[in-house]
Amino acid sequence: MLWLSELLIQGYDLDSFEALTEAVKARASDGEVFFRMDVRPPFPDTPEDWENRLEAAFSTAQKR
């Protein structure tokens, strides 16, 4: 299971919401099956609908 907080801690070099989205896609492509969003991303460019965007990125990358 992929936890957003874990991804943020492991990806200390992530500097934007876009970079986080790409990291989520990469982990989904690597075979992660479940994704839990337990914290709000701390980036200034985090959109209001961040949960929907990350879920879409995860789900789309799983299907490839």
Sequential DSSP letters for 1-64: -EEHHHHHHHTTT--SHHHHHHHHHHHHHTT---EE--S----TT--TTHHHHHHHHHHHHHT-
pLDDT of residue 25: 96
pLDDT of residue 17: 98
Strand partners, 36: 3
Question: 41 and 17 in contact (C-beta within 8 Å)?
Answer: yes
Compute CA distances 49 → 20, 23, 41, 56, whole Å: 14, 18, 11, 11
The pLDDT-based confidence of 62 (bands split at 50, 70, 90) is confident
pLDDT at 64 over 70: no
What mean pLDDT comes out for the span 24-47?
96
